[in-house]
Amino acid sequence: MTAHVLTDTATLTNRSLRHIVRSPDTIITTAVTPIALLLLFVYVLGGAINTGSGVSYVTYLLPGILLITVASGVAYTAYRLFLDLQGGIFERFQSMPIARSSVLWAHVLTSLVANLISVGVVTGVAFLMGFRSGASLAAWLAVVGIITLFTLALTWIAVVVGLSARSVDGASAFSYPLIFLPFISSAFVPTETMPGAVAWFAENQPVTAVVDTVRGLLAQEPVGTDIVVALAWLVGIVVVAHVGAIAVYRRRTS
């Protein structure tokens, strides 16, 4: 049974990845906004921002920009799911001897691959702009793991939205709050520079824990409890969103 699910998931993921290969503008579009923000904050606003961290602003800024990259990219998952649902492809899949869960996992894995490529592109641009890190291989692997888990968390939310949306605009627009969330976090400036209520929200929302963890790993600094908080948030979101996605999927295809 497990082999059957894995084979079906691999086949459907290959189908989705071929669509991306035929339309590379998906990845390009996903990377454009984060790169534009990177250029804007580093070359226009960076000189007026004091992070007090002793590192270049592009190095300080990059973790938050990577999260914005993922938040931009997951909108395409909701969009593709909505089109598949409206186009009757799910009904065709139901008439075939394939595992039902493989349909959703194919979209999730496609999102993961596409977003990690976009993250790689943005990181490459940051290197050209002066980003440097002396992090060890283990630290870099930890960063990739955190970004992967963050991508899975947002992607499962996108699956719920894509299955629940009533229009193409509704399927895509949900990502806007996700893109905005890093702006009220430690991604761009230290939270202690913010007014009281805003600072409290920034310090206690998941993006700050993720940003601080990634930043600490890249800077070879102790991450303390930040990584525990980040993992707790991300695992919790993945579990809740996955359960919600399965419930919505069963209701829409029953």
Q: Which long-range contacts (CB under 8 A, 24 or more apart) does 145-148 make?
A: 146/210, 146/213, 146/214, 146/217, 146/227, 146/230, 146/231, 146/234, 147/66, 147/67, 147/70, 147/116, 147/119, 147/214, 148/112, 148/116
The residues, any chain, with a CB within 8 Å of residue 229's CB and separated by 6 or more, are 206, 209
CB 131 within 8 A of CB 46: no
Range ranked top by mean pLDDT from 72-76, 158-162, 211-215, 248-252 = 211-215
Q: Which two tokens stand for residue 87?
A: 């186009």
Average pLDDT, the chain: 83
Domain region containing 44: 2-253
| Terminal-to-terminal C-alpha distance of the chain | 22
Question: Hey, how many other C-beta atoms are within 10 angstroms of the C-beta on 177?
Answer: 9
pLDDT in tens, 101-128: 677 888 888 888 889 989 999 999 999 9
CB 185 within 8 A of CB 199: no
CA distance 153 to 74: 10
63 CB-side CA count, 13 A? 26
Band of pLDDT at residue 1, cut at 50, 70 and 90 = very low
**Any idea which residue has 């890249």 for tokens?**
218
CA distance 126 to 111: 22
pTM to 2 decimal places: 0.88
pLDDT in tens, 133-157: 888 999 999 999 999 999 999 999 9
Tally of domains in the chain:
1
Task: Specify the pLDDT at position 2.
Answer: 55
Q: b/e per residue, 77-89, with b = 16+ CB within 10 A?
A: bbbbbbebbeeee
CB 132 within 8 A of CB 122: no
Band of pLDDT at residue 19, cut at 50, 70 and 90 = low
